[in-house]
Amino acid sequence: MNLNNMTKAGVIGAGTMGTGIAQIASTNGHSVTLYDVSPDQLKRSKESLEKILNRQIEKGRMSPKEVKDILQRIHFTNNLSDCADCEFVIEAIVEDLSIKKELFRNLESIVSESSILASNTSSLSIASISSVLKFPERFLGVHFFNPAPLMKLVEIIPGISTSDKATEITKNFIRNWQKVTVTAKDTPGFIVNRVARPFYGEALRIYEEGIADAATIDWAMKELGGFRMGPFELMDLIGHDVNYKVTESVFKEFYYDPRFKPSFTQKRMVEAGRLGKKTGLGFYDYRNGSKNPEPNNDNVLGEKIFSRILSMLINEAADAVFMNIASVKDVDLAMVNGVNYPKGLLAWGDEIGLSHVLDSMSALQVEYREDRYRPNPLLKQKVRNGKNFHD
Ligand code: NAI
């Protein structure tokens, strides 16, 4: 196995993620086979790529020749056998375990024994998908973020059966696509979708307690915290259906740990069809001419909100290290490059003082007596020993 720029790449599923991944692979010089069951979807994928790439010409970022070459290197097909000569194949089809298993069963009978097979799954375990493979050692998770061509981060997830060799080759291969890779254990939410949960969950909790409205919480996180978007704006953008589903799945997969408990407020929004920007109504009103409430710019209240959410995020980041999900470096890289956080959470904790974070968590735990607020043991150890995460 030696993957380089001449490698033929296969992308399965020409939806949002598959189309973006095919664009990246082709832009980096690979010839790409992009397969989908639906000919209509292949047509839409091609049209959307043409539109995106033509915009690059208009902006002077690419020449017409470059764009023509990128498009020509992608072979759109609804015949899976066209992936036969692909040495690296990544799947980005519907998030359904039995459908993914069926696909990999078929795919393995088509590609060579030495090719690497990957899944872009967000919520299924790599172990469960790999169970259908004859050679599971060449299979792993390669998790891109939306929009794939713009987001720098790719989480690499070796499963229980993945060989070190396949992991190393894949990391180098993806790094050649100018991506930042981090390695995560095959556990629910990997790094980003696990560590980011309190950004939404604690914001919703503060809202439900009536401490502040959505506009004020968003203002606190942006103005005082430096986040690009507030939690409510971001949930409206992602779509409450999608965001709630991730929270619910992480909660269930963690055997109902109260740290990840979903919110009734968000559930009701989903049930009512208030899915956010895409339906015109979420926490904010996006319909023409609508007015949204102004935040309460009270600095004391804002600091309280920001400090509570940030402490929860740092506590969660500490847990990912404590449970050996990823290294300190990778947890910080993941949040900066996968969800555009202004700083790595553990570096942020070091900066504001880990004892401050621990005090904040302990105060919440004393106040609420809920397991949700338990301070992470690694955070406690660091404070006890006078250490930082980045020592
Ligand atoms: P999508 O719904 O936009 O695209 C899925 C595509 O798969 C569709 O074009 C559909 O026709 C095709 N498809 C369905 N069954 C198929 C089969 N048996 N064989 C071939 N093609 C098939 O979905 P999206 O959002 O691109 O997600 C794809 C995968 O990527 C999922 O596993 C999802 O969890 C994951 N993911 C999604 C992210 C997102 O923000 N949308 C982010 C990271 C991962």
Q: Which three-class secondary structure string do you get for 6-37?
A: CCCEEEECCCHHHHHHHHHHHHCCCCEEEECC
Q: What CATH number should be reported for the domain holding residue 95?
A: 3.40.50.720
Co-location of 153 and 248 in the same domain: no
Q: Is residue 265 part of a domain?
A: yes
Q: Per the residue annotation, which of 45, 115, 120, 122 is the catalytic one?
A: 122
168 and 290 share one domain: no
State how many domains the chain has.
2
pLDDT for 17 beyond 90: yes
One domain for residues 166 and 214: no
Separation CA 342–CA 27 (nearest Å): 28
Domain boundary among 163, 183, 203: 183
- Interval between CA 191 and ligand 1 midpoint (Å): 20
Picking from 183, 215, 250, the residue at the C-terminal end of a domain is 183
Mark whether 201 and 130 lie in a shared domain. Answer: no
pLDDT score at 3 = 73
Which residue's CA lies nearest to atom 30 of ligand 1?
92
Residue 189 lies in a domain: no
Domain extent for 128: 3-183
Residue 389 located in a structural domain: no
- Residue 15 C-alpha to ligand 1 middle, in angstroms? 5
Q: H helices of 176-239, where?
A: 192-195, 197-208, 214-219, 231-238
- pLDDT, tens digit, 9 for 90 and up, residues 180-238: 999 999 999 999 999 999 999 999 999 999 999 999 999 999 999 999 999 999 999 99
Do residues 204 and 277 both lie within one domain? yes
Whether 75 sits among the annotated catalytic residues: the reply is: no
End-of-domain residue from the set 129, 163, 183: 183
Q: Tell me whether residue 47 is in a domain.
A: yes
Query: Catalytic annotation on 109?
Result: no
175 and 223 share one domain? no
Q: What is the pTM of this model?
A: 0.96
Considering the domain architecture, whether residues 12 and 118 belong to the same structural domain is answered as yes
Phi, psi of 152 (to 5 degrees): -75, -25
Chain segment 253-288, per-residue pLDDT in tens: 999 999 999 999 999 999 999 999 999 999 999 999
Q: How far is the CA of 18 from the centre of ligand 1 (A)?
A: 7
In a domain, 188, yes or no: no
**Beta-carbon count within 10 A of 105 CB:** 12
> Are both 318 and 262 inside the same structural domain?
yes
Say what percent of the chain tops pLDDT 90: 97
Which pLDDT tens digit goes with each residue over 340-374? Answer: 999 999 999 999 999 999 999 999 999 999 999 99
Binding pocket residue ranges, ligand 1, CB within 6 Å? 12-18, 36-38, 41, 92-95, 99, 103, 120-122, 144-146
Active site residue 240: no
Q: Are residues 123 and 248 in the same domain?
A: no
Q: 321 and 379: one domain?
A: yes
- The DSSP code sequence of 241-306 is HHHHHHHHHHHHHTTS-GGG---HHHHHHHHTT--BGGGTBSSSB-STT---PPP---HHHHHHHH
At residue 357, the pLDDT reads 98
| CATH code where residue 270 lies | 1.10.1040.50
One domain for residues 271 and 373: yes
What are the φ and ψ backbone dihedral angles of 154, each rounded to 5 degrees?
-135, 120
> Are 146 and 231 found together in one domain?
no
User: What CA–CA distance (Å, rounded) separates 44 from 50?
Assistant: 10
Residue 331 lies in a domain: yes
Amino acid at residue number 332: D
Structure tokens, 290: 């609508």
Distance separating alpha carbons of residues 165 and 154, to the nearest angstrom: 18
